Structures are given as C-alpha cells and as structure tokens.
Structure 1
Amino acid sequence: MTTPEPAAQAVGAMLRTARLRRMMLPEQPAEHLGVPTQAVIDMEDGHRSITVAELTALIRLYRCGQDRQPLWGLLIHAAAQARTARDDEPGHARRLDACVRQARRVRWLSTALLPAPLQTPGYARAVDEHSTYRSGAPVPPAACPVYVLDVHVIRRGSGTPRLMAEQVEHLLRLMERGADIRIVGEDHPIPQLPGHLVEMELPAGRIMAQQDGQGVDYHRSGALFAHIDAALAVTDHYSSYEALRQAAAFHLALVEAGPAQTSWQTSTEGTIADVR
C-alpha cells in the first residue's frame, strides 16, 4: 500500500480529533454516513479517500462548520495528490494542533520563536500568534512531544525582559513536570527555519508540517528530520534545563537593570555574547 498524501492524512487526523471532542464512537459517524465502521477508521487514518459529500456531513455532525472551507481545501490537495498542501485559513494553528493530537510521535524544531504549545498567552500576543485552541471535550495527545529549540529562541526579547522572564520560568515549570524540551547551543548550529517544523508519525506514515505566521504547509517527511535527530544527539535534559535557568536569570537581570542592557550574560560563568 502506498503512503497516502500528507493532506489526506492531515484531514483524517483532524476529523478524528473532532469526533473525539464530541465524544463519539466511530460507529456513530459510520451510521450517519451509511458506511461500515471500518470505512470511518480508514478515513481517519488517511487510507481511504473522502468525498465532499461525506466531509460536509461530518462537519455538520461534529459541529465544526468554521473548518469547512480549510478542510475542503486540504481535501482538494489530497485528491490532486499534491506533494504540498497549504492551510492558510483562520484557525490553521488550531487545526494543526488537532492533527498533532493523533500522532504516535511528535517532534518540534523551532529556531526563531517558541512553538504554540509552549507559549503563554502573553507571549503569543507579543509575537502575534494564536494560543492553541482547547475548548470542547479534552483530547489527550497520543504521544509525548519533543521540542528542539535553538538557544536564541530563549534569548530573544531583550526589549521585553519581564515577559521573557515569565515565559522562560513557564518552560522551566513544564520541564519539571516532565516536558521534553531540548535547547541546542551555539556550538551545534541548526538550520534557521521560518516558523516551526513539526514531524508527526500518523497511522499511515510520517508527515511534516511547517507553520509560519500566515498558515501551515503539510509535506511528506523530508531531509530536515535528520537535523532533529542530530540536535537530539547533542542535547540532554540537564544541559537544557541549565540553559533555561541561565536564560531566566538573564531576563530577570534585565528587568532590574533596564532595557539598556543588550548583552547575554550567563549566571554561572559570566560569558557574554550578543542577544539575537
């Protein structure tokens, strides 16, 4: 069996999340569509094509009419067997989150800004992004994600030190609760990417989503995944926690000293580097 196109897998994962939010079993949409239950499961896995009529019926059943246009657009990409499918309609970050929640493995790579799941509401407003949607019945993620961040992500925002101090403290609390956050230092540079790269292992195979401020592109798995592997090979929990602790101390020092200070200074070694 050939690997389904990224758009087909993404639409299926989004529909499964929508069904779970309504606390429905697969039998209910199957009866609604007049198809076998396995057909709905295959549809959600990305193994079965979905018609416009079926998609329209499911959107009504799950009461997610706000996603009608973007899901139709992704469905057209899947029907055309497009290698890249773009979702640039309002709510694209929420739909990406719905897709991520059905993955068996999730790995984020961010080199400029923090990915949405790690952002506090204040940070999201400051960088003009939207916090991840969380209304409806809770749907636990299928896999514990790994976040690989360039060290410059946590050094940003020297002009807003109080906000960054709160954000980095939030990351430290997340790590203390078990979140797998890796900070890659300057001695192991990774390609500077626009937006965030998300690797998802869905039931039918791996796909990649690249999110920027205007939308999300869904691709087949690509060579960039090797950079995630390389980054994970040179990081660990302890060095990443220390990098966050130093970043928190730096931003707190800026709060006290004022925004005129523009250098990066570690709290333990006293080394200085430019803040980017």
Structure 2
Amino acid sequence: MTHPTLSCSRIALITGGSRGLGKSAALHLAAQGWDVVITYAQRADAAQETVAAVERAGRKAVALQLDTGRASTFKAFAETLRQTLSETFGRDTFDALFNNAGTGSNVSFMETTEAEFDDLMNIHLKGVFFLTQALVPMLADGGRIINVSSGLARFYGMGKTTYATMKGGVEVLTRYLAKELGARGIRVNTLAPGAIATDFGNGVVRDNPQVNALVAANTALGRVGQPDDIGGAVAAMLSPEMGWMTGERMEVSGGMFL
C-alpha cells in the first residue's frame, strides 16, 4: 500500500502550542523528525520555551502570535505564515494542521450568557472553521488536519453544555472537510481527549485531588490522562501508517465513562 507523499522536511502547524497538549504534540512530532510552527495567544515566553525544546531535539521551530477567537485576523496571519514558511523553512506549504487552541468553561445551561456562548463559539467552532479555510491553500496535497474535540461530546460533564456543543460541531465539520478535501489526498480527523492533567480549566483535573480521584475511578485504565498521552496520539495520527483514516473520531480518554 502506498501513501500520498509528504515533503522530506515535514512541517506541522499547532495552534495553542505553548503549553499542555499542544506543547506535548510539538515535542512528540519533533522526536519523529517534524519541524513545527506553534501559535500562542499571550504567553510569548512559554511559546519560546516550546521552541527551544523542539530545537534541542534537533528540529526547527517558530512561534507566531494568534488569537484563534478573532477570525478577522486570520487573513493577516495566513500571510505571516506564508512569509515564515519561505524564510525559515524554504517552503511555500506545510504538511499538517493541528487545531488545538482552546479555553475551558464551567457554567450550567441555564446560567450561560450570550456573551459566554459567543466567546466559546468564536474560539472552538468559528475559529476552527475559518482558520482552516484561510490555511488550506497552503496545506500540501496529501497533508493532514486534526481537529480537537473532547470526550465531553460523547459523555455528560456538569457545566460543560456550551463547550461540548461546540465540540460536537467540530466533529461534524471534520467529516465534511474529509469529504471536501479528499480529492487533494488531505486526511481530516478528530482527536477527542478525555480529562487531562494540565492547566486547562484552571488546572482542576491536575490540582484538585477530589476531581483527579473521580476521573480515575471512572476511567477504564484507572488514572487521569497526561499530556504525553495526547502528544503521542497526535504523532501517531499524523504518521504514514494512519494514512487510510479520514473523517473519523479518535477518542483518547483511557476509557472514560464506558
């Protein structure tokens, strides 16, 4: 079986790559020979730490500022990325897009305001939709897109109605993109993490012993997920061995709420 050919120097763009799952993905990909471009919203210092870690692994890395909740900035960002690809990597395309950036929410359905709804929608659904639209012309034929959803799109979590609704939309978007981009050999899949011990959501899974124990007790593998569990999954999903998978949802949750 053959796979669509990617360039020798593979480049992945990771949104929200300064910490957590995005940083882990960058390091796992670097270990497999990928160069990376990461984006960050505010923490330029943390983004540079990721860049330095990738460079220590022997790969190239660049950090670019991007607010994924402001679609009006995506055209300018695409031009910045185009210049970066040319100046840093000698390329006019990149090979993989990992739509990872996001924020948490913990508010009930009845207490959700329109402003809170719009904020989550702009980042998790509208942002993914229009950033991908802006960048697909630079994505190489035979490339890959991974959109981050959540286990919460499958199982219930208190206070997660709005967040999970946006992730459900992302999963539908993934299937449609897989069909529309398939003619170019671009594979589009969803990665749905379970509860992971990061600073996401103010670090509640990582830092709250009661929440940590509750998650572990309801996970088939008996523990809370770690960033490297997801970073490794991203690298696997972008590998040539997964080249026949598209339009699919891969949940990486250790078996939460089975």
TM, length-normalised to structure 1: 0.28
TM, length-normalised to structure 2: 0.30
Greater Rg by CA: 1
